[in-house]
Amino acid sequence: MAMPYLALNGVSKSFKGGYTALAGVDLEIDRGEFVTLIGHSGCGKSTLLRMIAGLDGPTSGSVELEGRPISRPGADRGMVFQGHSLLPWLSVYANVYEAVDAVFPGRRAPEKQEKRERVERVLRVVGLWDHRDKKPGELSGGMRQRTAVARAFAVVPRVLLLDEPFGAIDALTRSGLQDELLSLWNFDQETETVVMVTHDIDEAVYLSDRVAVMTNGPRATIREVVTVPIPRPRERRSMLHHPEYASTREHLLDLLAAPGRAEVAEVPPYPLWPTPSPYSGD
């Protein structure tokens, strides 16, 4: 059997006070896959992502990248945080540049030039080059999140981790950001594998190759991994008419609506969900 690229082996996480958030999560992710973790709030999906990032360690089990256990953050993994976490005193350009400069510490002139070109390319792809001198405080929510995505891509990670990247963005802006994410992913040959956390079913179906549905905590685990059988490149509008689209979506809804171990999850009927976020974007 071939070694999996990114593997979660029996990952459990307990917190002080005896609360067990995750119990025995197994997941294997291939190189080049876009995998989404979906589940209700508090199911521990963000904790799983943080473990892959190396920001957090499992209580038992292991997280391995190419067979090597992950113990701390590394340049091979980039991350977009829930809430952009840009540095408010740095401009858009500097926020991206400082990350690139930290990951590639070369001090010689051609190396610096290369870094600057890299930052410019990424900022142009997300349409922020004209806004490069602005501070995060002067940007809309959508632009901030775009900067965060650009920063994550700019460090050329092999695995990109997205923690509810567009959760606080209004629905219209969100779909634009999703398209930009896909174009960045296609544009960047080095960044092959993406792991995303979301609670938005449509976002998961549109973006992912596979969707791992989690049960509710405590002692959350993966209920089922659903393959999205819609070929790429996907187009938002025509995808809605794809024969497999409705059934995949329906199946994910059923999985999320099924009673968890602790409680019965409540999922509003189809037209209400996902609801537009109350936060304002662009």
Binding site for another protein (CB under 8 A): 53-55, 72-75, 77-79, 81, 83-91, 94, 98-99, 101-103, 105, 133-138, 144, 151, 155
Closest listed residue to residue 197, CA positions, set 9, 57, 53: 53
The length of the chain is 282
- Rounded to the nearest whole angstrom, what is the least distance from the CB of residue 89 to another protein in the complex? 4
C-beta closer to another protein: residue 55 or 258: 55
C-beta closer to another protein: residue 21 or 154: 154
- Rounded to the nearest whole angstrom, what is the least distance from the CB of residue 85 to another protein in the complex? 4
C-beta closer to another protein: residue 63 or 222: 63
Distance of alpha carbon 94 from alpha carbon 99, whole angstroms? 8
- Rounded to the nearest whole angstrom, what is the least distance from the CB of residue 100 to another protein in the complex? 9
C-beta closer to another protein: residue 104 or 273: 104
- Rounded to the nearest whole angstrom, what is the least distance from the CB of residue 88 to another protein in the complex? 5
C-beta closer to another protein: residue 85 or 175: 85
- Rounded to the nearest whole angstrom, what is the least distance from the CB of residue 13 to another protein in the complex? 17
Amino acid in position 72: R
- Rounded to the nearest whole angstrom, what is the least distance from the CB of residue 160 to another protein in the complex? 11
- Rounded to the nearest whole angstrom, what is the least distance from the CB of residue 254 to another protein in the complex? 35
32 by Cβ neighbours in 10 Å (0-12 / 13-18 / 19+) ranks as exposed
C-beta closer to another protein: residue 117 or 138: 138
C-beta closer to another protein: residue 144 or 146: 144
Q: β-strand 6-14 against 222-227: which pairing, if any?
A: unpaired
